[in-house]
Amino acid sequence: MQDVTFFLAILLGLGFLFAKLVQRVRLPSVTGYILAGLLLGPSGLDLVTHEVIGARLSHFTRIALMLIAFGIGEHLEFGKLRNHAKSVSLLGVAESLGAFVAVALGVFLVAPLVVPAALHWGQHDYQALALLLGAIAVTTAPATTLHITREVNASGPLTATLLSVVAVDNGIAIMLFGMAVSAAHNLAGAADSTFLVALSRSIGEIFFSLLLGVATGLLIDIILRRLRHRGEMLTVGLSLLLLCGELTQMLGFSSLLAGMAAGFTIVNRNSRDVRLFRVLNAFETPIYVLFFTLAGAHLDLSVLAVGGWLGAVYFIMRVAGKMSGVAAAARLVATEPAVRRFLPFSLVPQSAVAISLIILANADPGLSRYSSLVTQVVLAAVVVAELLGPFCTKQALERSGEAQAGAAAAKPTFDADSVKLVPWSWEKLTPVADPAGVILFGASHQATVASLTRMTTLLAHHYGSRPLAVRIVVPESHAAEARREQEIFAQARLEARSLGYELATSVLQAKSVAEGILAVAAQSRAAAIVLGHPLRGTPQAFQRVVDAVAAGAACPVVVVRFAGVLHTERILVPVVSMAELEGMRDIILALAAVGKHRLTLMRLLPAETVAAKKFEAREQLKAWARKVELASEAQFQVVTTEARVQAVVKLANSHDLLVMAASRAVGLSRLFLGSLAEEVAQRLSKPLLIVQNPAVRAEKD
């Protein structure tokens, strides 16, 4: 494997797969990315070697770190931090010094017991090692922290404080590391400058890094205010940020501080143009996957054996120092209870910045005596910190109540408890004297039979037909099926009578459910067939039944997907073409004929649609509503969108029931073309009717 493009494909694909796997056990995505990197790297399959990581893919790490730092800068807004500047500064300084002192002291006491005697170290060597590891321990992983806050959509005092404290402690870490390097040089007898000179260099690095970042932020803000298109903003903004990052590399400055300063500058300008942050949010996800997967590939599990004991001391004392420092500072300043309680657990992650510092240590000839052991200890601790830290941070944000993604991203569940039906409260319907044909539905589950009966009865009332419950018995059915059949039919009759109708029932033995339903439909002159989405079993098996019924039926087939409470007051009908709307006409009229309703007809158009076409689409919806005599009840929405599913789900939140056209594609065509209705059904916790009408063919508008 020598091709960089192939490496990128493998890193992205496996990182994404592992992220989805760990999400199933409520672990953050970043843990999955790191595990994928471990599997691909030298500690696993060794597909991504150290040579590839260092020589070919290192620039992706620099790009990612710059974008991550820029994203952190967005959260350092004066307006939000003004009242907390004192507490944030104190918390940042306290947890930084706590980690530095705890690790330095712990390493100094334990190192003489575990460092091989063959190294012939003296007291001054242990002091130098303790100072270097103490300085590196101050760092917190900004990338991990920012990624998790975005993944769970966290916002609130804890989130704002956490991101600000991470920015503060990494700045302090850079300064402390410079001073520790100078002290180590003196202790090792390789000093080329005084302690004050080393301190001034560290302060100069911080100052000029911030200055370069501020200049970049100002330049971005000035240029972006003159741009209108997102593509132009992304091109210009990204080019300036990457230029800033490369300049920091050339001049020996900190890209982390420069990136944070650039974001800080933009978000605190009076004009406050934050469009670049929004544009980069969509761009940075694959960069995050690469960054963390590469971070996982950097981790070498063999160092756990070499630097194990000292690494354990480093990890434990770092966490203890940060927690005790935050706890002490929280008692001195007025902070929110969530900050006092959960901030200490949010500071466990450590990765990229710490790795950057050990790279600097390895590149310094004056530290050659210590760099090997420093690398082993820090990497051993980073392995643990990156596997446990993301979980700790996510738990802290969730338990503080600031994580919003759990409820927003929850997928709809379809089980017996999720099917709820409000008792019929409108006037009873009056059946026609001489009904023509039937509207039949498959009665298979007690949890859904009442809801299916209601939908079928409403359709029967519109068509002037009788509602018919059909029970298909396949050859392998046993005696218990007969008892269940009577219970289901009894429940269905009660629901039909509450609407004013008598329900007919039919039981038929057939080789398959689809064959039986089609046979009953042909015998009874069915005007429509209603099928309830199964609460159990595989969706693929059910889809095969639906496809078979739709292919053989001469009437519309309506699939009812259950979720939440079944109401029919606020109905949303999203369509891609007017042909879809025409194919659902009778279903819409049947629902709109009873009680007071609010009907929304939603036309989905491509994002690039011009205003004239949007106006034309709205007029088409109005004309259709007038033709079917629903103009007084209907509202019209013409939506231009890049993502149809998201647009439908967003508008559906203010409605009770959706009615959508099914895809006419089957087999391989369905695989390639997909189905908008089925995609919406997977993401929405609302009742949904999916209508397939063989009498209407799809048309291109």
**Residue at token pair 């480093």:** 314
Q: Could you say which of 527, 545, 564 is where a domain stops?
A: 564
Q: Which residue range forms the structural domain that includes residue 419? A: 412-425+437-564
Q: Residue 215's domain is classified under what CATH number?
A: 1.20.1530.20
HEC sequence for 198-237: HHHHHHHHHHHHHHHHHHHHHHHHHHHCCCCCHHHHHHHH
What is the CB neighbour count within 10 angstroms for residue 223? 15
Spatial separation of the C-alpha atoms in residues 34 and 383, rounded to whole Å: 9
Both 102 and 176 in one domain: the answer is yes
Both 516 and 400 in one domain: the answer is no
**287 in a structural domain:** yes
The DSSP symbol for 56 reads I
What's the pLDDT score for residue 501? 92
Both 578 and 553 in one domain: the answer is no
Strand order from edge to edge, sheet including 438-442: 504-509, 466-473, 438-442, 526-532, 557-561, 688-692, 657-661, 570-575, 598-606, 634-641
**26 in a structural domain:** no
Both 537 and 623 in one domain: the answer is no
**699 in a structural domain:** no
Spatial separation of the C-alpha atoms in residues 677 and 680, rounded to whole Å: 5
Spatial separation of the C-alpha atoms in residues 397 and 412, rounded to whole Å: 23
**Residue at token pair 């019929």:** 424
Token couple for 695: 């009498």
Q: State the pTM of this model.
A: 0.50
Token couple for 94: 């306290």
Both 535 and 418 in one domain: the answer is yes
> 28 with 393: CB under 8 angstroms?
yes
What phi, psi does 641 have (nearest 5°)? Answer: -150, 150
Spatial separation of the C-alpha atoms in residues 597 and 572, rounded to whole Å: 11
**573 in a structural domain:** yes
**306 in a structural domain:** yes
What's the pLDDT score for residue 100? 92
Spatial separation of the C-alpha atoms in residues 313 and 381, rounded to whole Å: 9
pLDDT tens digits, residue range 87-103? 788 888 888 899 999 99
Both 354 and 207 in one domain: the answer is yes
Q: Residue 639's domain is classified under what CATH number?
A: 3.40.50.620
What's the pLDDT score for residue 634? 87
**Residue at token pair 């203890």:** 320
Both 480 and 515 in one domain: the answer is yes
Q: Could you say which of 564, 586, 607 is where a domain stops?
A: 564
> 507 with 473: CB under 8 angstroms?
yes
Spatial separation of the C-alpha atoms in residues 75 and 155, rounded to whole Å: 10
pLDDT tens digits, residue range 516-561? 899 999 998 899 999 887 655 445 667 778 888 888 888 899 988 8
Q: Which residue, among 430, 505, 429, has the nearest Cα to 467 in the 3D structure?
A: 505
Enumerate the β-bridge partners of residue 688: 561, 658
Q: Which residue type, as a one-letter code, is found at position 615?
A: F
What's the pLDDT score for residue 673? 44
Spatial separation of the C-alpha atoms in residues 501 and 651, rounded to whole Å: 34
**Residue at token pair 């143009």:** 273
The DSSP secondary structure of 409-465, one letter per residue, reads HPPP--SGGGEEEPPP-SPPP---SS--SEEEEE---HHHHHHHHHHHHHHHHHHT-
**591 in a structural domain:** yes
Both 558 and 600 in one domain: the answer is no
The helix (H) or strand (E) run that includes residue 571 is strand 570-575
598-606 and 688-692: which strand pairing?
Answer: unpaired
> 499 with 470: CB under 8 angstroms?
no
* E strand spans, 383-463: 419-421, 438-442
pLDDT tens digits, residue range 120-149? 788 888 888 898 999 899 988 777 787 788
What's the pLDDT score for residue 409? 39
The helix (H) or strand (E) run that includes residue 640 is strand 634-641
Both 611 and 591 in one domain: the answer is yes
Return the SS3 of 596: coil
**104 to each of 40, 130, 188, how far by Cα in Å?**
34, 4, 17
Both 589 and 621 in one domain: the answer is yes
Longest dimension (CA), the chain: 107
Overall number of domains in the chain: 3
Both 662 and 519 in one domain: the answer is no
Torsion of CA 298, 17, 44, 309, to 10 degrees: 60
Both 382 and 497 in one domain: the answer is no
Q: Which residue type, as a one-letter code, is found at position 52?
A: V
> 614 with 604: CB under 8 angstroms?
no
**595 in a structural domain:** yes
Spatial separation of the C-alpha atoms in residues 531 and 540, rounded to whole Å: 15
**661 to each of 579, 587, 669, 696, how far by Cα in Å?**
10, 11, 16, 11
Intervals of the chain under pLDDT 50:
1, 191, 405-417, 537-538, 668-673, 697-701
pLDDT tens digits, residue range 202-237? 677 778 888 998 899 888 888 877 777 777 888 888
**58 in a structural domain:** no
Q: Could you say which of 512, 530, 564 is where a domain stops?
A: 564
